[in-house]
Amino acid sequence: MFGFHDSTTDPGSGRPQAHYSWASETVATWTAWALAAVSLVGAFAFYLKWQNLAGSTQMALVSMLFAGIAYWRHNMLARKRAAFRDAVKDYEAMIAKPFG
């Protein structure tokens, strides 16, 4: 997906920094979860109103699609953040070593 960039480094100190696009990825993930919930509620309301299983099934499938996208994006971003935490830990261990 778009926006999954690796962490960057501060040009002055060399310390790893989280990429600015990760904030928009968090918003996109929450939006996908919200769309999944709204679609599922819509499928339930559609079935209650018209007793049409075919239309509500399609809406439920769309809900599962959005939930799958949200879950995938969440896991991808979690992996990037874990790699970032490891990079920061390695950087701090390197800085803590005495020079020379």
Give the pLDDT score at 80.
Answer: 92
Give the pLDDT score at 6.
Answer: 84
Give the pLDDT score at 2.
Answer: 55
**What is the rounded end-to-end Cα distance, in angstroms, of the chain?**
44
- Extract the tokens encoding 70: 């949200």
Give the pLDDT score at 3.
Answer: 56
Question: What does pTM read for this prediction?
Answer: 0.82
Distance, C-alpha 47 to centroid of its chain: 31
pLDDT < 70 positions in the chain? 1-4, 100
